[in-house]
Amino acid sequence: MNWSVGIAAFVLAFLAGSIPFGYIVGRVFYRRDIREQGSGNIGAMNALRTLGRGGAIAVLLLDALKGFVPTLWATAAFRGEPIAALVAAGAVLGHCFSPWLRFRGGKGIATSFGAIFALCWPAGLVAVAGWVVGAAVTRYSSVGSMLGSVLAAVALWRLGGSLAVTAYGIFAALLVFFTHRDNIRRLLAGTENPIRLSKTAP
């Protein structure tokens, strides 16, 4: 791999991933700062709690595209999985540590799942299925997110066919557990907020 090209692609992906769509959608269309309500997170689940279903769907799709588009572009442009995996990591890190929000951001689920679809779409389906099962059984989005990320890492290992793609899966799963450390504490304490699909924005 050409490391200078790889580093440049990583930086560009980081900047793309750092666009805080949850914050932008809340400010532009709902006149509220999503960080000051609910969990304070800029991801789709807090958008559901604070902006309603329409805002949540918009944030979910935009965040997923931040991972999908740069990774798909890298796969097509460089015809090499190492750079694509590096770009995927850059996009997710940009989302989680956005320089526009003082290096704070979301928890990386939608962006990571979008990148996984670009790397290996069957693994992306596994990731989404893991989230659906985990969230449906427990009613906790955090459980679905962690389960989906772990299953995605296994799927990338079995289906991705390369060390770089497998390494991304492991990295993404570890990052998701890190960004969900507060959720894990609340799960253990029995104080985690369940999913409420019927809730709408005030």
Residues 136, 192, 185, 145, Cα dihedral to 10°: 30
Query: Is pLDDT above 80 for 154?
Result: yes
Residue 178 lies in a domain: yes
Residue 202 lies in a domain: no
Structural domains in the chain (count): 1
Q: Determine the residue type at 37.
A: Q
pTM: 0.92
Residue 198 lies in a domain: no
Residue 74 lies in a domain: yes
**What sections of the chain are H helices per DSSP?**
3-17, 21-30, 44-51, 53-78, 81-96, 109-119, 121-138, 141-155, 163-179, 181-189
Confidence (pLDDT) at 197: 65
Residue 194 lies in a domain: no
Confidence (pLDDT) at 81: 79
Query: Is pLDDT above 60 for 43?
Result: yes
Residue 39 lies in a domain: yes
Give the pLDDT mean for 104-118: 96
Query: Is pLDDT above 50 for 42?
Result: yes
Q: Each residue of 16-39: pLDDT tens digit?
A: 999 999 999 999 999 999 999 888
Confidence (pLDDT) at 161: 74
Query: Is pLDDT above 50 for 121?
Result: yes
CA distance 56 to 193: 17
Residue 63 lies in a domain: yes
Residue 48 lies in a domain: yes
Q: Each residue of 60-92: pLDDT tens digit?
A: 999 999 999 999 999 998 877 799 999 999 999
CA distance 41 to 95: 11
Q: How confident is the model at residue 199 (pLDDT cuts 50, 70, 90)?
A: very low
Give the pLDDT mean for 148-174: 95
Q: Which range marks the domain in which residue 99 is found?
A: 3-189
